[in-house]
Amino acid sequence: MIDAHIHLWDLQRLDYPWLDGVPAINRSFLPADYDAARGQTAVDAFVFVQCECQPAQHLEELSWVQSLADADPRLAAIIPWAPLETGNAVAGELAAIARDPRVKGVRRIIEFEKDPDFCVQPGFIRGVQLLGETGLHCELTIAPEHFPNVMRLVEACPNTRFILDHIGSPRIVKRELEPWKTHLRAFAASGPHCCKFSNLVCNADLEHWTLDDLKPFADAVIDAFGPERMIWGSDWPHALRAATWPTWFAAANQLTAYLGIVAQQQIFHDNAKAFYRI
């Protein structure tokens, strides 16, 4: 088992303004809390993904997480934030953070940006190109309406690896398969990109979701990427808004069980090990 998407934060150290609007998880979450949350399921390694602290504190967040990884080797991969939109100006920072082999890529939450063309601005495109030149990947967190511009970004950055977080955040609560499904297939076909099989429950009805609600969307991901390019992540503790760690893990197992144990081994371990170079 590798959990390819977890978050950790200490509210005594850094500021996360967005948590003010999410009282259910507006407290600190540390590795000991993660171990308590996963219950009896053994996790061999996990991937930390940046948590939207104040941008000015992003290097402090990275330094803190590096100290956690020093103490717990299961924290095998780190995905920090970086000011990619500054273009060539970010080159030095990317080179510096890439010196730690546990830093594998950079994530930016494009769906939070007010400008719908944010990810195709020349500066951002150059920043993403620099990721590839530095040996880092780009972790994309988007909403369905961002797919057309993301396709332009991917085309402009042929030497950068991409992974799509949270299956592109379809509006499962509204049962909106299209145009998300068509966009997803186009993205999958545009290169050897991977897809994070995560956060489905938070895009469904938070309190009343069912497997039947999730299944059409899970099937679309399986059809587009195949088990060879899907990577499971808990999105803990963000997913606590809709499910406990074991509940989402069990649901993901059920949604993929028909593929067989070999395919599930890829989704829940092998693909993450390869993509994140663990």
Query: How much is the pLDDT for 74?
Result: 97
Q: State pTM to two decimals.
A: 0.96
pLDDT in tens, the chain (278 residues): 999 999 999 999 999 999 999 999 999 999 999 999 999 999 999 999 999 999 999 999 999 999 999 999 999 999 999 999 999 999 999 999 999 999 999 999 999 999 999 999 999 999 999 999 999 999 999 999 999 999 999 999 999 999 999 999 999 999 999 999 999 999 999 999 999 999 999 999 999 999 999 999 999 999 999 999 999 999 999 999 999 999 999 999 999 999 999 999 999 999 999 999 99
Query: How much is the pLDDT for 22?
Result: 96
The answer for residues whose C-beta is within 8 angstroms of residue 21's C-beta and 6 or more apart is: none
CATH code for the domain in which residue 204 is found: 3.20.20.140
Query: How much is the pLDDT for 75?
Result: 98
Query: How much is the pLDDT for 25?
Result: 97
Query: How much is the pLDDT for 184?
Result: 98
pLDDT in tens, 239-259: 999 999 999 999 999 999 999
Count of the separate structural domains present in the chain: 1
Structural domain including 223 reads 2-275
